[in-house]
Chain A
Amino acid sequence: MTRLIDAGLEQVKNILLRMGNIAHEAISISLKGYIEGLSTYSEVQKISDILIITEEEANDKIFELIARFQPVASDLRLLKSCMKISYSLARYGRYALDISQIYEKIDGLALCEDWIRNHIIEMSEKVLKMIQISVELLNNRDINEARNLSEIEKQVDEMYFKYLDNLMDKPSTVNKCIISSVLVVRYLERIADHATYIGESIFYIVTGEKIILR
């Protein structure tokens, strides 16, 4: 049976999907810029601003639905989770901006050794994959995929700590390279966390169970 609230829930889902696609684009652009040595700050800033505005739009719609329909059960869980998801999607945009700012303020990978470049490329690919999965989860609500995020997140975490250890073992690395790359891997690690937060939210929407995938 179609309910009055359904059209509103569909609107919220579409706003989040739009945010997810925009956020994926923002992070792809900023990482490409950082890896290939291109200035992307102003472009990413525009996208990040759109995400902040869209997060507000999502929250306004969610509050309207709560006020008008007093949702309960799966509707309530869905809206609670959508608020958390919209925050994570907005954070994607913020980290994309931070990465593009590192290139502007410090440097990219130009002076870095190959192992650093390769490590960051590999980590970036994993994180972009996680973002893609987290955005797809908004549509397919596949709890097995949500669980898979946990596995990739573990790999990203391991890469993050391994990277720090490797840097400590190689005192000859150029300072600029150390500073910029450490910040970037840190942001990648945080983005991966937010992807798993989305996975946790989807799990809660579908099952009502609160789990920690990190």
Chain B
Amino acid sequence: MNRQKLEAELSYKFEIENLNAWFGSKQVLKNINMKIKEKAITAIIGPSGCGKTTLIRCLNRMHETVPDAKVTGRVLFNGVDVYGRDIDPVQIRRKIGMIFQKPNPFPMMSIYDNVAIGLKLNGVKDKRKVDSIVEKSLRMVGLWDEVKDELNKSGASLSGGQQQRLCIARALAVEPEVLLMDEPTSALDPISSAKIELLIRELAEDYTIIIVTHNMQQAARVSDYTAFLYLGELIEYGPTRQIFENPKNELTEKYLTGGFG
């Protein structure tokens, strides 16, 4: 293999091969094949029920936590199949963090503990190290200056936008390589959403980000690549500019322009 080809392959964080997923007998993903670039933002768009959320939940093996759920195919993460025999799903989920639609800080925990919990569960006991990572994580999401004097307050006391940034800080604290975001701003007001979008772009300097969104303009604003899913199939995938300006597939065109009847 020549060097150029090798480098091109190494720049993919995920290589998804023949991925199928089911809930019971209902197949929700059909033979998905796609490669996801490292340190880029990939948006997954498509109508409700098309399999967007299932796709990202397959990447960190969360799909299998649902009773009756099944997956076939391969998901290579850094070249290693996350569904391999010796792979610990907990370790995979530590490397591939997830942010949900509704901010979900642990309500009984302080702001500090919300961020530190992952570290403590991973056995980090050094208080100074934990302090340092909590501060770094909160700074990364632009929350430090807003909460540094009230770290002991409940995470639930923050506004919706702040709570979502707290959840992102919680995910960052365990030093993941990938952030999966499932409609991370759909429960937020436009100003909070704009802050999260800006944060997503900043985080893409260091992390691979995959975002599921119903908001097509959000996909157009923040992502580098866009994938369009329909009825469990990957219809079109390419650079965001190409998808939004000049989609090649008629279904993509119809979905983007609101032509689905």
A67 in contact (CB, < 8 A): no
Contacts of B245 in A (CB 8 A): 72-73, 76-77, 208
* Cβ-Cβ contact count across A and B, 8 Å cutoff: 35
Query: Does any Cβ of A come within 8 Å of B123's Cβ?
Result: no
Is B25 interfacial (CB-CB < 8 Å)?
no
Contact: B217 with A70, CB < 8 Å?
yes
Tell yes or no: A7 within 8 A of B by CB. Answer: no
Q: Which residue of B lies closest to A208 (CB)?
A: B246
Q: Report which residue of B246, B253, B259 has the largest number of chain A beta carbons within 10 angstroms of its beta carbon.
A: B246
Bound-complex Cα distance A1 to B256 (A): 13
Q: Which residues on B sit within 8 Å (CB–CB) of A72?
A: 216, 220, 244-245, 256-257
Tell me which residues across on chain B come within 8 A of A74, comparing CB atoms: 253, 257
A115-158 CB contacts (< 8 Å) to partner B: none
* Contacting residues, chain A, for B259 (C-beta < 8 A): 1, 3
Cα-based distance from A39 to B259 in the complex (angstroms): 52
Size bracket, chain B contacts: 10 to 19
| A6 shortest CB reach to chain B, Å | 10
Contact with B along A62-100 (1 / 0, CB 8 A): 000000001111111100000000000000000000000
Residues of chain B from 202 to 261 with CB closer than 8 A to chain A in the complex: 216-217, 220, 244-247, 252-253, 256-261
Which residue of the partner chain, among B217, B253, B261, contacts A1 with CB atoms under 8 Å?
A: B261
Taking a contact as CB atoms under 8 Å apart, the answer to whether B257 and A77 are in contact is: no
Q: Which residues of A contact B261 (CB under 8 A)?
A: 1
Find the A residue at minimum CB distance from B244: A72
| Distance from A141 Cβ to chain B, minimum over Cβ atoms (Å) | 15
- Min CB distance B64 to A, Å, is 35
Rank and list the top 10 A-B pairs by shortest CB-CB distance, nearest first: A208-B246, A1-B261, A73-B256, A72-B244, A72-B256, A3-B258, A73-B253, A70-B217, A73-B247, A73-B257
Would you list 14 pairs from A and B whose C-beta atoms are within 8 A, ordered by A residue?
Answer: A1-B258, A3-B257, A3-B258, A5-B257, A70-B217, A71-B257, A72-B245, A72-B256, A73-B244, A73-B246, A73-B252, A77-B245, A77-B246, A208-B246
